[in-house]
């Protein structure tokens, strides 16, 4: 759902800094930049340079957040830990470095606004309801699971699915899972 006062823009990775600024409007003109579950894929020096140029001074905010862990109960969490361990060789290195460390290792050259800071992201939780089949589809769509399968490793084997289903409490239940999220927000340093 789009808000009428928000401008949404998607630019190709090949866009230069000057082209980005021009596409958005002008330097020192943006109130808020948000990256939801994506900053770890960016060319960080380029992204941060453009954000610094675009953010309104004073007052413009940049916020980045992500998650990597889904929690339900002790048995499900243990099965998820086994799945994560099985997929580790298939994670992108930047994702492994930043996401699996909860953005604690993510460079963030902005002044804190009280919502985390470089090296110290704030922890958040986000709840969502899933059926077991919905959760299974979600897990099978994860990048490392797909890459593992492309490399001949079935991390979502019958045993893993069985363990997850048993921990879920059966395949017919709709459960509320909790995403363990992390966030850092800041403004351009004076």
The CATH number for 169's domain is: 3.40.50.150
| Token pair for 135 | 């959760």
| Token pair for 111 | 């002044």
pLDDT in tens, 29-48: 999 999 999 999 899 999 99
Helices (H) and strands (E) counted in the chain, each on its own, are: 7, 5
Q: Is the pLDDT of residue 94 over 90?
A: no
Please tell me the distance from the alpha carbon of residue 113 to that of residue 99, in angstroms, as a whole number: 21
pLDDT in tens, 168-180: 998 899 999 999 9
Residue from 62, 40, 42, 174 nearest 110 by CA? 62
* 169 CA to centre of own chain: 28
pLDDT in tens, 50-59: 999 999 999 9
Taken in order 150, 140, 67, 83, is the CA torsion positive or negative?
negative
pLDDT in tens, 112-164: 999 999 999 999 999 999 999 999 999 999 999 999 999 999 999 999 999 99
Number of structural domains (the chain) is: 1
pLDDT confidence of residue 171: 86
Domain assignment present for residue 106? The answer is yes
Domain assignment present for residue 117? The answer is yes
Looking at the whole model, is its pTM more than 0.75? yes
Domain assignment present for residue 9? The answer is no
Q: Is the pLDDT of residue 6 over 90?
A: no
Domain assignment present for residue 11? The answer is no
Domain assignment present for residue 22? The answer is yes
Please tell me the distance from the alpha carbon of residue 187 to that of residue 190, in angstroms, as a whole number: 9
Domain assignment present for residue 2? The answer is no
Residue 130, domain extent: 17-187
Domain assignment present for residue 5? The answer is no
Domain assignment present for residue 129? The answer is yes
């Amino acid at each position: 759902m789009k808000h009428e006062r928000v401008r949404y823009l998607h630019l190709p990775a090949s866009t230069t800094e000057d082209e980005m600024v021009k596409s958005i409007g002008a330097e020192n003109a943006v109130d808020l930049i948000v990256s939801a579950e994506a900053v770890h894929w960016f060319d960080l020096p380029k992204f941060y340079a453009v954000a610094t140029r675009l953010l309104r001074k004073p007052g413009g905010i940049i916020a980045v957040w992500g998650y990597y862990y889904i929690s339900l109960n002790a048995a499900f969490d243990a099965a998820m830990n086994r799945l994560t361990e099985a997929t580790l060789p298939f994670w992108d290195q930047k994702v492994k470095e930043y996401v699996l460390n909860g953005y604690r290792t993510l460079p963030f050259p902005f002044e804190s606004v009280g919502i985390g800071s470089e090296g110290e992201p704030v922890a958040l939780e986000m709840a969502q309801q899933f059926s077991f089949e919905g959760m299974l589809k979600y897990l099978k769509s994860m990048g490392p699971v797909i890459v593992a399968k492309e490399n001949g490793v079935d991390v979502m084997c019958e045993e893993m699915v069985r363990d997850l289903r048993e921990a879920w409490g059966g395949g017919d239940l709709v459960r509320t899972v909790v995403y363990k999220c992390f966030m850092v927000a800041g403004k351009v340093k004076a």
